[in-house]
Amino acid sequence: MTLPIRPDLQGLEPYGAPQLDVAARLNVNENPYAPPNVVVDAIANHVRRAARTLNRYPDRDFLGLRQDLARYIAAESHVDFVEPRNIWAANGSNEVMLHLHQAFGGPGRTVLSFSPTYSMYPEYARDTLTEFVTVPRREDFTLDVDAAVAAIREHHPVMVIVASPNNPTGTAIAIDDIRALALAAQEVPGGCVVVVDEAYAEFRRWGTPSAASIVPQYPNLAVSRTMSKAFALAGGRLGYLIAHEPLVDALRVVRLPYHLSAVTQATARAALAHHKSLQAQVDEIRAERDDTVDWLRAQGFTVAESDANFVLFGMFEDRERVFRGLLDHGVLIRVTGPEGWLRVSIGTAHEMMMFRSALLEVV
């Protein structure tokens, strides 16, 4: 039987990192710490209450959840203006990004980003028949702002996506650089949205501000976040976005009806009510990340500066051999980024000890 699949999708494999049962799973930037019992109990109670109404559709505008997210962002990023109408949420930040592409992308339109970066960005563009253009980062993976502004003026994109901290490099973007992108985007005929993907924002080093703090000044700026990482809620699938109300309203047009289940909403609200308990290990993960960077450099590896919960390191003539060797020792990391580099997520102290020991044996 022949299926009429789109020509541009023929022969492609679905996105996904290996999910293997190993002693140290350090490949997809998960929080290595399970939610504490107090949070598990709170989630169970919230979901139990939601279960009593599962015969009805959930609140399609999820105003209670948006209120909770607004409170969290106001406190975490020191944003005074944030209200429920400035918040959007979906099933992970991946769906938030897809909504952005559905609202602003499409045939004949262009999205601009900066490589190397998150490998899903071109797939969002592909799925919405949007052209995807990239500008190379500098050798240290920082953003070349002059080149970025020039590309905005050349390509007239409808959307600019910049990850900060960047995946897979961990590089944070300076607030002044984001301002420069937002100002350049305002000059694009027909308009241009700048999206800062802050999936790993809670792990940034002290003194590194969130782009959410300048959203009030730029109507064309949006900041995407997730509860998967710092909240240890990867299985909960909740991502969200902070922006001015007209931009949020544009996403409401393209979302599927009742896209956030009552169970998802209940889970996220319970987690937000206990965010301090869930994020108690963030400082520990930060410290383990910095120790990992120092150790790798002491062994002679090249390591990218990281504000995330992972580290990109190299250089390897045959990174696949190193990857396989680590896997043989029960340590799963990620082959990603430019050729010659590998990425390791930050795990528990014991998992990182396993990684170090295995890496020394393999290399």
- Report the alpha-carbon distance of residue 143 to residue 342 in Å, rounded: 21
Using CA atoms, how far residue 39 sits from 76, 268, 276, in Å, is: 20, 11, 10
Give me the pLDDT at residue 1, please.
Answer: 81
- Report the alpha-carbon distance of residue 35 to residue 42 in Å, rounded: 11
Give the CB-side neighbour count of residue 299, counting CA atoms within 13 A: 16
| 329-347: average pLDDT | 97
Structure token digits, residue 112:
């601009």
CB 34 within 8 A of CB 232: yes
Domain boundaries, the chain: 17-33+281-362, 39-276
Domain covering 39-276 in this structure, CATH number: 3.40.640.10
Q: What's the whole-number average pLDDT of the chain?
A: 96
The helix, strand and coil proportions of the chain, stated in percent and rounded to the nearest 5, come to 45, 15, 40
- Report the alpha-carbon distance of residue 47 to residue 266 in Å, rounded: 6
- Report the alpha-carbon distance of residue 138 to residue 145 in Å, rounded: 10
- Report the alpha-carbon distance of residue 203 to residue 229 in Å, rounded: 9
Check residue 174 and report its DSSP letter.
P
Count Cβ atoms below 10 Å from residue 308 Cβ, excluding itself: 31
pLDDT digit string (tens) for 85-122? 999 999 999 999 999 999 999 999 999 999 999 999 99
State the Cα torsion 116-117-123-126 to the nearest 10°. Answer: -60
Share of the chain above pLDDT 90, in %: 91
Check residue 18 and report its DSSP letter.
-
pLDDT digit string (tens) for 19-71? 889 999 999 999 999 999 999 999 999 999 999 999 999 999 999 999 999 99
CB 113 within 8 A of CB 158: no
Count Cβ atoms below 10 Å from residue 138 Cβ, excluding itself: 11
Give me the pLDDT at residue 20, please.
Answer: 86
pLDDT digit string (tens) for 286-336? 999 999 999 999 999 999 999 999 999 999 999 999 999 999 999 999 999
Give me the pLDDT at residue 13, please.
Answer: 87
Domain at 17-33+281-362, CATH from 3.90.1150.10, 3.40.50.880, 1.10.8.100, 3.20.20.70: 3.90.1150.10
| 7-11: average pLDDT | 91
| 169-184: average pLDDT | 97
Taking every pair of Cα atoms in the chain, the longest distance, rounded to a whole number of angstroms, is 60
Structure token digits, residue 264:
């998802």
